[in-house]
Structures are given as structure tokens and as C-alpha cells.
Amino acid sequence: NCTAYALALYVYSVLNRRREEVHAANRELLALHETKDRFLSIVSHDLRTPITSIKAYGEILGEEVADEHKQMSRVIVDEADRLHRLVTDLLDLDKMEAGKMEWKLTRQDLRPVLEKAAAVFSAAAQDKGITLAKDIAADLPGAAIDADRFAQLVANLLSNAIKFTPEGGT
């Protein structure tokens, strides 16, 4: 009987120590998560401010420069938009992981979003020497989407397609 009691005390002390270790590890993980959140917040703010300035000055330059330089200005603006999307993607990924992503679903015609994305990325495709071909079905049905997130998705897909398509490709 004493042996069973001693064994039970030993098991209890081991389990109690393990529980304390798990709690300590959990506190450390929570602190690291808070540090990551603060870091993402600071980085996103610190990146968005200069990106906004770069885009604004690129747009102003595009209005002021000779025609042969307008394309360069457009590249500056497009790349500033791309950097802004990357920062937004980073923050959105964090929100998704935390289960805090908010979706604003409305019934939308998909064609305008696809047309706009193709127009935005046509210069990047042309600069790389590839053809951006679009074949959007005439009877494309609408869908309940978050328009901003859907546009972001299409932009990411086109950006990757341009990035990984060899020169001369379509």
C-alpha cells in the first residue's frame, strides 16, 4: 500500500512538473506571438508610408515627363502597388492564422475585376517580353465575393504567372 502511494506521489510530481513546463512554454509562445504582432504592425506601417510616397511621385512624374519616359513612371507606380499588396498579404496572412479575417461578400460581376487586373499587369508582362492573353468567357456568372480579396487573388496569380513565364511566352 505504501509502495502504491509512493508511486502515485512520484507520478503526480512528474505530471505537475510537466504541466509547469508546458505552461512556461505556452507563456513563451504567447510572448513570441505578441512580439511578432508588434513587429508586423511596425513593419507594415513603416513600409506603407514610403510606398505611398513613391506611388504618388511616380504618378506625378507620369504626368510631367515626355512620352518616352511615361512607361518608366508607370513601372514605378505598378511596383509601388505591388509592394503595397505584398505588405497587405503579409498582414492578411497573419489575420487568417489568427482567425480574425473579415470577409465582405457581395454579389459581383467578375469580368470587370479580371479586366482591370489584366490592364494593370499588361505593362509588367510587356516589360518582360511576354504576352498577357486574356480569354474571359462572355457568359461568366457573377459570384458572392469579397471584391478586394478577389482582386488581390487575381493580382497574385498574374504576378506569379509573369514572374515564372519565360521571355517570349504567353
Which single residue is written with the C-alpha cell 513601372? 75
pTM, 2 dp: 0.54
Which single residue is written with the C-alpha cell 507520478? 11
Look up residue 13 and give its three cell numbers: 510530481
Q: Among candidates 32, 42, 49, 57, which has minimal Cα distance to 83?
A: 49
CB within 8 Å of 97: residues ≥ 6 apart = none
Q: What is the pLDDT of residue 23?
A: 96
Q: What is the pLDDT of residue 88?
A: 82
pLDDT above 90 for 19: yes
**Tens digit of each residue's pLDDT (9 = 90 or more) over 28-78:** 999 998 888 888 878 877 888 888 889 998 889 888 888 878 888 888 888
- Spell out a b/e string for 38-61, using b for 16 or more CB atoms within 10 Å of the CB, else e: eebeeebeeeeeebeebbeebeeb
**Tens digit of each residue's pLDDT (9 = 90 or more) over 86-141:** 888 777 777 777 777 788 899 999 998 898 888 888 888 988 899 999 899 988 99
The whole-number average pLDDT for the span 137-147 is 90
Q: Among candidates 85, 159, 86, which has minimal Cα distance to 127?
A: 159
Q: Which residues pair with 145 in a beta bridge?
A: 106
**Tens digit of each residue's pLDDT (9 = 90 or more) over 20-42:** 999 999 999 999 988 888 888 78
Q: What is the pLDDT of residue 17?
A: 94
